[in-house]
Amino acid sequence: MSLVSRHINSTRLVRSYNASTVLQTLYKHGSCSRSQLAKLTGMSPATITRIVAELMEQGIVLEGRAGKSTGGRKPIYLHIDHSKLYIASLKLLRDDCCAALLDLKGSILHTEHLAWNAQPEVLLNDAVKILSAMFEKEQVNREHIIGVGVAVSGICHPGEGRVIRSVNLGWEDVPIASILGAQLELPVFIENDANACALAELWLGAAKDAANSMYIKTEEGAGAGIISNKALLSGSRFMTGEIGHIPVIPQGEPCRCGQQGCLEPYVYFRDVQARYGRMSGKRVDRGQFIELVHSRDEQALRLVRETASALALACAHWGILLDLDVITIGGFWGTFKQDIVEHCQNYYIAILRQSGIPCSTTITGSDFSEDADLLGAAGLVIDRWFDPLSVPFNR
């Protein structure tokens, strides 16, 4: 049995199968009466009554309004107190490692930065210490933590909780879930950072009402997380969404992979920063570059237009191919609403109009900014929480 299954199959109330099913049903439906819970979960009324009583005793489930009577007593609707269930998050990116505690609505309660260490065991042990101290400081009952989500820059095997390879971190074959889970004694789920961000948008953000969506990550490179029919799309080799080194601009900018015109040199800010330096003779940081764009500096605008063109092509190619409802541009470039996001939307509309393809796609910037990866890790836990295969079926 896997580490994750062992913890879910423990005697702990919140992660026991029946209690978890009741909580998941309430989370999905917002509120339910006891009789509705029995019908939706297939459990007996007596089992529902017992579980609800235990969850109410812990303050996790509350009674709300009364419903209409159908001849007997008025049903009382139940709902989750989202502030009493928690998710721990970790983001492990180049130059940016952070831990956080969130409630079930995705509100970040506490964050701490992790000092980078190239040795994965050392960094993960530090993460355990920081999370444990965080739980104690926030006076969180570990029984009420539904899991730990880890967003990693690299290719991951989510089922095994393992990083296959991360060029970004310099890691290979690292069993993150085993290392963290053994010490925290909590279910641990890992995922590529772009995929995690796509799940954050699905559960907490712009793609909440969309069946098919894509998150394009534009921070330390380019990657995409794709949601198909409300589920994360993943290939047999876990390479889905690795779009950074697919050429989109013929004879475009040289890429570190040896090709020309890949998406990555247009969205990786350090590459754009270097080109601005060669054009202007000045070195600028992100804040200064943003100011230059706002002041309509021609050289900065030229670079923004190049990035906008590359992203517009990426959105049109993959958006139409996958028949997407929503495309979210995350990271640095997603903050440029007019110069980037609106340009991509207008280009997309023009393509659809010219080709006569009868579909509609909304392109938007992410509202999560620097919290996207932490929220993505939380979205990963929520997504796995709703996966019936993650919970043993022995009642």
Q: Identify the pLDDT of residue 93.
A: 85
- pLDDT band at residue 15 under the 50/70/90 scheme: low
Instruction: Categorize the per-residue pLDDT at 39 as very low, low, confident or very high, splitting at 50, 70 and 90.
Output: very high
When pLDDT is averaged across residues 286-297 and rounded to a whole number, the result is 95
In tens, the pLDDT along 236-248 reads 888 888 898 999 9
Residues 6+ apart with CB under 8 A from 107: none
b vs e for 169-189, b when ≥16 Cβ sit within 10 Å of the residue's Cβ? bebeebbbbbbbbebbebbbb
- DSSP states along 267-285: H-HHHHHHHHHHHHS----
| 3-class DSSP string for 27-87 | HHHCCECHHHHHHHHCCCHHHHHHHHHHHHHCCCEEEEEECCCCCCCCCEEEEECHHHCEE
* Beta strands at 362-365 and 326-329: parallel, antiparallel or unpaired: parallel
The average confidence (pLDDT) of the chain is 89
Residue 279 CB neighbours (<10 A): 13
Selected residue with higher pLDDT from 1 and 380: 380
C-alpha 28/C-alpha 21 separation (Å) is 11
pLDDT above 50: residue 389: no
Task: For helices 343-355 and 298-322, give the axis angle rounded to 10 degrees.
Answer: 40
- Of residues 95 and 280, more confidence is placed in 280
pTM score of the predicted model? 0.84
Can you list the domains of the chain with their CATH numbers?
3-83 (1.10.10.10), 85-199+373-388 (3.30.420.40), 208-367 (3.30.420.40)
17-26, 43-52, 316-325, 345-354: segment of lowest average pLDDT: 17-26
Q: What share of residues in the chain are helix, strand, coil (percent, to 5)?
A: 45, 20, 35
CA distance 271 to 351: 29
